[in-house]
Amino acid sequence: MLSDAHHSGRPDGTPGGHGERLRRVSPVRSLDFGDHRLTYLADGFVQLAPRAWFPGTTAETWARHAGHLDGDGHLVASVGGLLVEHGGRALLIDTGYGRRRTGSADSYPFLGAEEGGLLPANLAASGVSVDAIDTVAFTHLHEDHVGWAFTPAADGPGLHFPRARYVTSRYEWAHWSGTFSDALARELRGRAVGVADGEEIFPGVTAWATPGHTDGHTSYVITSGDRRLLVLGDALHSAVQIEVPEWRVLVDAGRDVAVETRLRIMKELARPDTVGFGGHFADVVFGRVVTDGSRNRWEPLPTTGDGDCC
């Protein structure tokens, strides 16, 4: 449960059927994946205005996809990070919003309400301390992915994970120019590690260049035995895109490149040895692609966590 702001039709994480899970925020969910333990650490949520987020879609489009919309008529995007534990070590991929609470009226026109703040408590509840995180990796440097990388203090911001090395693509470090991430870059000067496509950042975890949302956007591939899990980042924002990956997204820096990337990801997700983690995928963050005739859809994986399972 995030807050009282979720009453009156907003997602609240309460138990329900699979359809309801497409319209609500994900709680903490964990998945044993070979030698790795994967835990989605919920931080908060953001509502996406569907017709603005996906330019060119219509009211008729969303009548067909109404099962993805909450009571306010928005797509639900969970916000958080992925904790990866292996051999006594811990990696965190993306760090959520940080402390944030913005109502729809004060948000961007293509968004609804935004809220963050739960990740540190959820990390502690998982039994992992901030000092135990030895690597923090970013898919990209937008504010809903770097929020807990550093936190305000009386004498200036400080790193929230003081013992970690901080990783994203070399291109993302070199070319980012947003004021929020500029502040992060100043904090990380001398501690940031820029990685290349295919480079291992943690046991069994390699970087995978997936440009489009940002020029340096990076997904991560977690391999255990003959199985793979793809950490999608913002290459895809919603489970609805599994059916229609060709839709353009308003906030993608390179919309055509982003479509090409999604189609490439879809080919990989279609492999029988591959599953995915969509951090913004409402309450179906862990899943796999299944095909019904000519139609692809996202099928949640069984997990442990709050609320119902799969």
pLDDT tens for each residue of 39-82: 999 999 999 999 999 999 999 999 999 999 999 999 999 999 99
Q: 103 near 49, Cβ under 8 Å?
A: no
Q: Where are the alpha helices (DSSP H) in the chain?
A: 18-21, 50-53, 59-64, 119-125, 143-146, 170-175, 179-188, 255-269
Measured in whole angstroms, the distance separating CA 161 from the mean position of its chain's CA atoms is: 19
- Measured in whole angstroms, how far is the alpha carbon of residue 102 from the centre of its chain? 19
Residue 38 token pair: 């994967």
Domain chopping of the chain, boundaries: 4-299
| Cα–Cα dist 146/73, whole Å | 27
- Interatomic CA distance for residues 259 and 278, integer angstroms: 16
Q: What's the pLDDT score for residue 9?
A: 34
Query: 8-22, 102-116, 275-289: which range is least confident on average?
Result: 8-22
Sole residue written with tokens 């299944």:
290
Q: Judge whether 239 and 253 are in contact, CB under 8 Å.
A: no
Q: Is the pLDDT of residue 237 over 90?
A: yes
pLDDT in tens, 186-236: 777 777 788 999 999 999 999 999 999 999 999 999 999 899 999 999 999
Q: Please state, in angstroms and rounded to a whole number, the distance separating the CA atoms of residues 308 and 220.
A: 27
| The token pair that represents 289 in the structure block | 């692609």
User: How many Cβ atoms from other residues are within 10 Å of residue 55's Cβ?
Assistant: 12
What's the distance, Cα to Cα, between the start and end of the chain in Å? 19
Q: Which CATH superfamily is domain 4-299 in?
A: Ribonuclease Z/Hydroxyacylglutathione hydrolase-like (3.60.15.10)
